[in-house]
Chain A
Amino acid sequence: MTENFLNTLFSLSLTFGPTGCEKRVAERIEEELKGICRCTYDRMGNLICHLPGHGEKLMIAAGMDEMGFMITDIDDKGYIRVAPTGSADPACFLGKEFTVGNESTLTEGVGAGKVLHLVDRAGDSPTFDKLFIDVGAKTKEDAEKFAEKGDFAAYRGELFELPGDCVAGKALESRSGCAIVVEALKEAAKRDESERKDLYAVFTVKEKANMSGAVTAAYNLCPDNAILLGFTPSMNFDGDSANGRKRSVIPGEGVVLPLKDGSVLFYDSPFLTRAKEKAEELEIPFVLWDSPVSLSAGRAHLVKEGLPMIELSIPCYNPETPLAVVHKKDIDSALKLLTALM
C-alpha cells in the first residue's frame, strides 16, 4: 500500500459523514479526483464520477456514509438525545467520543448514560432513549450553536496502525471501499481510453440505512455490469474458545468475493467467474465466502431487468464501530482486482 493511498484512506475515514449527511465525504472525494474524471451529483446526493472508456459500461459503487445518529432532542442543560439511522449497537455508545453537527458546524461530545453504580451489569443493554451525548454545554442555547434537532452525530476517533499491517479506526468498513475506488480511478486514468471500460464510479449516500444510492444510480445509468464495494465481518474469535472458534474470514487472507450475501446469490454468475479467473491469473489473494451482510446489492441487482454484479468485500473486525479493523493487504488485493476488472 503506497503512502499516498494510505493517506487517502485515513483522510476519507476521518471525514464526518453519517448516513444522511455525506456531503463532506463527497467533497473530499471530489478533491481527490480533481482533473481525473468528471464529477456530478444526482438528485439524491450521490457523487457520480465518469471516466470514459471503451465497451462495457461498468458501474462501481461504494457507500460513503458511516454509522450515524440523528439528534432527536436537546434538553435545557444542553444534553443531546439521538436515535440511530442504521443498525447501531447500543452497547457501543457509552464512553465513546462523538462528533456532533451538520454540513457546516461540528463539535465534540461523549456518549453517556445512567451512572454505572445504578446499573445491572449482567442485565440488558441500555436502549438509545436512555443514552445521550454530552458536548460540554451548560444550556440548550450552548449546544444549539453547533447542532439542532435533525442534525447528526457520528463516532469520533483517531486512525492508527496495528502490528501485522492492520489499520484501526472509525468508518473503515465503508470508507475503505471509497478509497479503493478513488485509487482505482487514478490508476485507470493513466491508461489509454481504449484500454479501459466506460467507467462510472458512484459514491453513494444512505447505504447503511438500506436506502442506498446504488439503486437509484443503477436506474439512471443503466450499466451493463456493476461492482459493489462492501465488507464482511470477521469473527474468528466468536464461539466458545474451549470448543474451538467458528470458521470465519480472517483479515489479511485476501479480498472476499461473496458467493452470496444476505440477499443476493452471486455464485452462478458469469461475472463472478470472470472476476475469480482474473484474480487467479494475477495471483491476487481472494476468498470465496458466504457473506452474511446485506446492503445495497439486494435492491440494486433488481433494478430494471436486473443488473449483473459482484461484490468486492473487505474482511473487517468491529464494523460500524469507532474501532473497525481492516488489513492493508486485503485493501491492496481489492484495489488490484478492481483495477484489473476496469
Chain B
Amino acid sequence: MQELKILEELRAIPTLTGFENRGKKEIARVLSPYFDDCREAGVAGLLFTKNCGEKDAKKILIDVHMDEIGWIVTDIEENGMLTVSPLGGMDPRTFTASRYTVHGTKDLTAVSLKKPFRLQSGAEAKKLPQAKDIVLFTGLKKEELRSFGVKVGTPVSMERRTGRMGDGQIFGAYMDDKSCAAAALAALEELRGKELSYDVCLLLSSQEESFGAGFATGVFDGAPDEILVVDVDLGFTPETEASKTVKMGEGPSVALSVQTDRRMTKELLRVAKERQIPVQAAMNVKSTGTNASGAPFLMGGIPTAVIGLPLKYMHTPVEMFYEEDLRNTGKLIAAYIEEHCGRKGESQR
C-alpha cells in the first residue's frame, strides 16, 4: 500500500508545532511528485495543487495539519540535564521514562527522568507528573550538548517507532495528523485519470496543535471554494464515553456540527452510502476541535466539512488506527470530489 510508505516518510520528518519551517523542504520533496504545483502558503504552510486543466477553475482544498506535539528545551543544567516545556497538548501520563529525540545540529536520543515511584511520598505519587517534575537525560555533558547545537529553544520530539498489531492495526507517534495526509494521497490515487472541473489543493497547515495560525493564513493563500478538513478523530476504547468518540474499524467519521456546512456533510454521508464506503457520524455539535473551527470566519465564509480518521490513544507514542479506516478515508474524500468536482456533477450552489 503506497500510502503507508508515504506515511512512514512523512512521520520521519520532524515538524513540531511552530517548527514546521525546518521540515518543509523534506515534506515538499515527499509530496511534490503527486501534484502539479507546490508553494509556501500562509504561516509556515505548504500548498500543493493538482490542476484540472481548466482556466480559473474552482478549487477544493483538503486541509491536513503537519505539525506535531513535543517539547522545547528551556534550560541546560550544569550536569547536562535538560528542562523542557510542552509544545502543544502533551499527555502528562506519558512523561515518565519515555524516549525522545533532541533536535540539535544532530539528533540525540534522550530519556525522561523522574523521581522513582518507590520513593515518592503519598501525595506526590498520586499526582500526575508535570513538565517541571521531569528532566531529559542524553548522557552528554553541558559543553557537549552545546557543541551539538542544543540550546534554550531546541525542539524535542517523541520516539518515532512504528508497530503493527493484530489484524491490520498500525501504531506509533505522530499518526496525528500525518495519517490523514496519507489518506489524502490515497484519494488522489483514486482520482487518477478522472476528469475534474475543480483544482484539488492539499494544504499542509502549521500550528494546529498550538494556536492555529497555519490554517487561516494557508486558506487565504489557496482561496478555495470548499474545504475538507481531514483530521484524526477520537476512537472508542474502554474508559471512554461512546457518545464523545467514534468506533474503530468502522470507517471514517463525518462531523455533524454547527461549524460545518450542512450540505457538504449530508452529501458526504449520501455519497458514502451510495458507494458502500463505511462511514459514521461524529456528533461534534458545538465544535469539531479541528481546524474547521475557524472556517466560518474565513474570507467571507468558506463551506467546510470535517472527515475524521478514527484513532486510539491520541497524543501518545502509540497512536493506533486501522489500515482499513485509512483506506476508506481516502475513498470517501475521492468519492466526494468525484461527485461534486467532476465534469458532470458540478457543485450545486
Contact = CB atoms under 8 A, between A and B. Distances in A.
Interface of A: 75, 77, 79, 87-89, 91-97, 108-119, 121-126, 130-132, 134-138, 142, 160, 162-166, 168, 233, 235-238, 241, 245, 250, 292-293, 317-325
Contacts of B113: 237, 317-318, 325
Interface in B127-186: 127-130, 135, 137-141, 144, 163, 165-167, 169, 171
A209 to B, nearest CB: 13
Nearest to A117: B234
Interface stretch (B93-101, B252-260, B341-349): B93-101
| Most chain A CB within a 10 A radius of its CB, from B96, B125, B169 | B96
A122 B318 contact: no
B244 to A, nearest CB: 7
A279 B89 CA distance: 50
B239 A132 contact: yes
Interface stretch (B21-29, B39-47, B309-317): B309-317
B118 A319 contact: yes
Tell me the interface secondary structure of chain A in the complex: loop
Given A112-B237, A121-B128, A317-B111, A92 B138 contact: no
Contacts of B53: none
Given A112-B318, A115-B234, A163-B140, A125 B109 contact: no
Nearest to A91: B96
A299 to B, nearest CB: 17
21 contacts: A88-B117, A95-B93, A109-B165, A110-B163, A110-B313, A114-B239, A115-B237, A115-B240, A116-B93, A116-B315, A122-B128, A134-B237, A136-B165, A162-B111, A163-B138, A168-B99, A237-B137, A317-B137, A318-B114, A320-B118, A323-B111
B244 A87 contact: no
B92 interface: yes
Interface stretch (B12-20, B74-82, B194-202): B74-82
Interface in B261-286: none
B1 interface: no
Given A117-B314, A118-B241, A123-B128, A87 B138 contact: no
Given A79-B237, A126-B93, A132-B238, A164 B139 contact: yes
A87 B118 contact: yes
Q: Which 4 A-B pairs have the closest CB atoms?
A: A136-B166, A136-B165, A321-B97, A89-B117
B207 interface: no
B111 A325 contact: yes
Contact of B129 (A91, A162, A321): A91
Contacts of A96: 97, 318
A121 B96 CA distance: 14
A292 B140 contact: no
Interface in B201-255: 234, 237-241, 244-245, 249
B168 to A, nearest CB: 9
A323 B83 CA distance: 18
A66 B139 CA distance: 24
B129 to A, nearest CB: 6
Nearest to A89: B117
A318 B91 CA distance: 19
A7 B120 CA distance: 33
Contact of A124 (B98, B112, B127, B163): B127
Contacts of A317: 111, 113, 137
B320 interface: yes
B109 A122 contact: no
A23 to B, nearest CB: 25
A134 B239 contact: no
A166 B128 contact: no
Contacts of B94: 94-95
B119 A233 contact: yes
Contact of A115 (B119, B144, B314, B317): B314
Contact of A320 (B81, B116, B318): B116
B137 A325 contact: yes
Contact of B92 (A87, A121, A132): A121
A115 B118 contact: no
Contacts of B167: 136, 138
A113 B289 CA distance: 20
Given A118-B240, A132-B238, 11 more contacts: A91-B96, A95-B93, A110-B318, A112-B318, A115-B234, A117-B234, A122-B92, A134-B165, A236-B81, A245-B79, A323-B97
A119 B93 contact: yes
A115 B115 contact: no
A245 B113 CA distance: 14
Contacts of B83: 241
B115 A94 contact: no
A163 B148 CA distance: 13
B55 interface: no
Contact of B118 (A114, A116, A165, A233): A233
Contacts of A241: 75, 77, 83
B99 A91 contact: no
